[in-house]
Structure 1
Amino acid sequence: MKHFVFILALLLICACDDLKVKKTSTEAILNEELKSFKWNEVDEYPTFITCETSGTQQDRKLCFEQTLAAVILKRMQAERIIVNKDVLDTVLIKFKISDEGHLSLLNFKVDSLTQAEIPNIKFLITSSLDSLPSIEPAIKRGQKVNSEFTLPIIIKAN
Structure 2
Amino acid sequence: MKNYWAFLFFTFLLTSCNFVQKEIPNSQELLRRELHAIDWSKVDTYPSYDSCEKLTDAAENKECFFDRLNFEVVRVLKTDSLVKISTIDSVQFKVSISSNSEIDFKTEAVNEKLMPKFMLDSIMKKHKNSFSKIQPATKRGIPVTTQFVLNVKFNPSSD
The reply to whether TM is greater than 0.5 is yes
Are the structure 2 counterparts of residues 122 and 6 from structure 1 closer, same or farther at C-alpha, using a change threshold of 3 Å?
closer
> Which residue does 2:52 correspond to in 1?
51
Query: Residues 62 and 103 (structure 1 numbering): CA distance in 2 closer, same or farther, change over 3 Å?
Result: same
Letter in 1 for 2:99: D
Q: Once structures 1 and 2 are overlaid, which stretch shifts more, 32-41 or 3-12?
A: 3-12
Q: CA deviation at 1:125?
A: 4.8
Supply the distance in 2 between the matched residues of 1:66 and 1:36 (Cα, whole angstroms): 32
Partner letter of residue 51 of structure 2?
T
**Given that residues 107 and 120 in structure 2 are in contact (C-alpha distance below 8 angstroms), is that contact kept between their aligned partners in structure 1?**
no
Structure 1 counterpart of 2:112: 112
CA contact (8 A) 2:49 2:135 kept: yes
2 CA distance for matches of 1:121 and 1:4? 89
The equivalent of 1:99 in structure 2 is 99
Unaligned 5+ segments in structure 1 are none
Q: Deviations over 1:51-90 (max 9, x none)?
A: 001122222111111101012223445567355xx754x4
What is the rounded CA distance, in whole Å, between the counterparts of 1:63 and 1:77 in structure 2?
Answer: 21
The corresponding residue for 2:134 is 135
State whether residues 97 and 146 of structure 2, in contact with CA within 8 Å, keep that contact through their aligned partners in structure 1.
yes
Aligned residues: 153
Aligned-pair Cα RMSD in Å = 3.0
Q: Tell whether the 8 Å contact from 2:88 to 2:111 is kept in structure 1 after alignment.
A: no
Measured in 1, the distance between the counterparts of 2:56 and 2:131 equals 22
Name the CA distance, whole Å, in 1 between partners of 2:26 and 2:122. 54
TM-fit CA distance, 1:4:
4.3
Going from structure 1 to structure 2, the CA distance change for 1:79 and 1:101 (only over 3 Å counts) comes to closer
When residues 22 and 73 of structure 1 are mapped into structure 2, their CA distance, relative to the original with a 3 A threshold, is: same
Structural mapping, 1:1-158, within 5 Å: 2=2, 3-77=4-78, 81-82=84-85, 88=89, 90-105=90-105, 107-109=106-108, 110-115=110-115, 121-122=120-121, 125-126=124-125, 129-156=128-155
SS at 2:113's partner residue? Answer: helix
Percent sequence identity over aligned pairs: 23
Contact residue 95 and residue 148 of structure 1 kept, 8 A:
yes
**Preserved contact between residue 138 and residue 147 of structure 1 (Cα < 8 Å):** yes
What TM-score results when the alignment is normalised by the length of structure 2?
0.75
Q: Is 10-19 or 120-129 further displaced after alignment?
A: 120-129
